[in-house]
Structure 1
Amino acid sequence: MFGSANSKVKLQTKYNKLMQEAYDLSTVNRKKSDQKRAEAEEIGQQLDELERQS
């Protein structure tokens, strides 16, 4: 139970970091911004899957 909650927190933190990086890059380098957003979306899907399992 705690492992699942701990992994959710880690994934959420990583998701937030990637989204912030994507936002910061959006005005400088659109391609890198899109890559960061894609990584964040993958993390988001993992978070959704964990929610469905709970």
Structure 2
Amino acid sequence: MCSDSADGADVVPVANRDALRATVSDLRVVELAGNHFGVMTDASTAEAVADLLT
């Protein structure tokens, strides 16, 4: 889930995240303090992807 600090909007709504978590037992959720414009260039995103690939 990624919350936009300006309006609190979620890139993935909480209800959708929770439903997916209930369905996919090995799902890893990474919550970032950012928005949908910067999430792909955020250092935390890169760290999470690197962790997933190692």
Q: TM-score, normalised by structure 1?
A: 0.30
TM, length-normalised to structure 2: 0.30
Of Structure 1 and Structure 2, the greater strand share is in: 2
More helix by share: 1
Larger radius of gyration: 1
